[in-house]
């Protein structure tokens, strides 16, 4: 039985991917900086009827000792880590670059970019010993060079994730490690992320225009998690990109928007449980 470790998996996409992996009989280690949500997530995931097992381990991806502990914990529980997903991420406040504080910028870059780099560096050492494994990094707004007011530092981090992932894939190819590296591109997900910035410290008030776009292009994370996990389990190639919201799908959504009246924000300004 394979084992997957997912960072930032107490809720949102990470949690939903954990659920789908378990249903596919893959052992899961969920981890998060939020201890309360992590404990609730573990309790719910343990109610799934499957042969695979789920464990949880607190881990802030900006702390090297906590990442090392997550790796050690996962190996002690399941003897090997086959798949590692760098999913933890935070949004930024809707402000121009010069309106952000240095602390806010450090926080976003440290979680969204450096967290993934450091986790990859540490899990690579372990997977190199195993001579096998797969690492997936989650892209986001900015990965494709798009820019907009209020997403510039997040976008800088996600553009960096894309380059970093491709560079890591290349290095694995050159060094013939047997490890594969790939990107997950989830599009727009209706999660708490959309209305929370800098790790839930600040609320984001979505404009009606933004909600309209999210209603057309967005999806709940359970739908996207299915696509991502199936893609990961099928993939054997290095430098793969598993994408949900392709250009074609986005164009179709806009074309059919007037027949497809979805409203994710009707009852509350936040996602479903
Ligand atoms: N929601 C979207 O529209 C969207 C779109 C594209 C990409 N993404 C990316 O997808 C990933 C998951 O997003 P989501 O929408 O599920 O977000 P979410 O906010 O619902 O979940 C993110 C999880 O990461 C955890 N986290 C935050 N900082 C952490 C840290 N330092 N260490 C460990 N865990 C930490 C949070 O506690 C939370 O449980 C993120 O990388 C995000 O950038 C989101």
| Nearest residue by C-alpha to atom 37 in ligand 1 | 34
Residue 136 annotated as catalytic: no
Domains of the chain: 3-205+219-245 (3.40.50.720)
Global confidence as pTM = 0.97
How far does residue 212's CA lie from ligand 1's centre (Å)? Answer: 22
Per-residue confidence (pLDDT) for residue 239, from 0 to 100: 98
Dihedral sign, Cα of residue 231, residue 22, residue 88, residue 136: negative
| Nearest residue by C-alpha to atom 16 in ligand 1 | 12
With a pLDDT cut of 70, the percent of the chain lying above it is: 97
pLDDT tens for 23-75 read: 999 999 999 999 999 999 999 999 999 999 999 999 999 999 999 999 999 99
pLDDT tens for 201-222 read: 999 999 999 999 999 999 999 9
How far does residue 262's CA lie from ligand 1's centre (Å)? Answer: 23
DSSP state at residue 200? T
How far does residue 9's CA lie from ligand 1's centre (Å)? Answer: 8
Per the CB < 8 A criterion, the answer to whether 141 and 156 are in contact is: no
Q: Which of 15, 136, 141, 154 is catalytic?
A: 154
Q: Which atom of ligand 1 is nearest to the CA of 158?
A: 43
How far does residue 199's CA lie from ligand 1's centre (Å)? Answer: 9
Residues with CB under 6 A from ligand 1: 7-8, 10-14, 32-34, 37, 59-62, 87-90, 111, 115, 138, 140, 186, 188-189, 191-194, 199, 221
Average pLDDT of the chain is: 96
How far does residue 93's CA lie from ligand 1's centre (Å)? Answer: 14
| Nearest residue by C-alpha to atom 8 in ligand 1 | 140
| Nearest residue by C-alpha to atom 6 in ligand 1 | 140
Phi and psi angles of residue 54, each rounded to the nearest 5 degrees, phi first: -125, 135
pLDDT tens for 85-140 read: 999 999 999 999 999 999 999 999 999 999 999 999 999 999 999 999 999 999 99
Per-residue confidence (pLDDT) for residue 174, from 0 to 100: 98
Phi and psi angles of residue 245, each rounded to the nearest 5 degrees, phi first: -90, 85
Per the CB < 8 A criterion, the answer to whether 171 and 120 are in contact is: no
Q: CB under 8 Å to 116, separation ≥6 — which residues?
A: 61, 86, 137, 161, 164
Of 161, 132, 151, residue with least CA distance to 193: 151
Split at pLDDT 50, 70, 90, the class of 273 is very low
| Nearest residue by C-alpha to atom 43 in ligand 1 | 89
> What's the token pair of residue 22?
């378990």
Q: Quick check: 268 pLDDT over 80?
A: no
How far does residue 160's CA lie from ligand 1's centre (Å)? Answer: 16
Q: Which of 64, 184, 189, 196 to mutate to test the pocket of ligand 1 (most atoms within 8 A of CB)?
A: 189
Per-residue confidence (pLDDT) for residue 260, from 0 to 100: 84
Of 161, 170, 107, 109, residue with least CA distance to 136: 161
Cα–Cα distance measured from residue 211 to residue 94, given in angstroms and rounded to the nearest whole number? 14
Split at pLDDT 50, 70, 90, the class of 267 is low
Q: Which of 5, 6, 8 to mutate to test the pocket of ligand 1 (most atoms within 8 A of CB)?
A: 8
Kindly provide the b/e burial profile for residues 36-68, where b requires at least 16 CB atoms within 10 angstroms of the residue's own CB: ebbeebbeebeeeebebbbbbbbbbbbeeeebe
Q: Which atom of ligand 1 is nearest to the CA of 11?
A: 39
C-alpha of 224 from chain center: 11
């Amino acid at each position: 039985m394979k084992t997957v470790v997912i960072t930032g998996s107490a809720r949102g996409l990470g949690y939903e991917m954990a659920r789908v992996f378990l249903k596919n009989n893959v052992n899961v280690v969920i981890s998060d900086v939020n201890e309360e949500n992590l404990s609730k997530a573990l309790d719910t995931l343990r109610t799934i009827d499957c042969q695979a097992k789920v464990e949880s381990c607190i881990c802030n991806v900006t702390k090297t000792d906590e990442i090392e502990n997550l790796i050690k914990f996962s190996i002690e529980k399941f003897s090997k880590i086959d798949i590692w997903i760098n999913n933890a991420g935070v949004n930024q406040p809707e402000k121009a670059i010069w309106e952000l504080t240095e602390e806010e910028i450090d926080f976003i870059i440290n979680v969204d970019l450096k967290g993934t780099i450091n986790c990859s560096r540490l899990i690579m050492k372990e997977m190199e010993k195993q001579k096998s494994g797969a690492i997936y990094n989650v892209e986001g707004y900015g990965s494709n060079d798009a820019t907009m007011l209020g997403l510039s530092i997040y976008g800088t981090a996600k553009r960096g994730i894309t380059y970093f992932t491709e560079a890591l894939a290349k290095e694995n190819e050159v060094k013939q490690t047997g490890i594969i590296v790939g990107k997950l591109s989830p599009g727009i997900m209706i999660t708490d992320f959309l209305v929370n910035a800098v790790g839930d410290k600040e609320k984001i008030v979505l404009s009606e225009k933004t909600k309209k776009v999210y209603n057309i292009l967005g999806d709940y994370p359970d739908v996207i998690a299915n696509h991502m996990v199936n893609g990961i389990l099928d993939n054997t190639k290095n430098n793969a990109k598993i994408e949900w919201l392709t250009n074609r799908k986005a164009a179709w959504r806009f074309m059919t928007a007037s027949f497809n009246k979805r409203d994710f924000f009707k009852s509350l300004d936040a996602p479903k449980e």
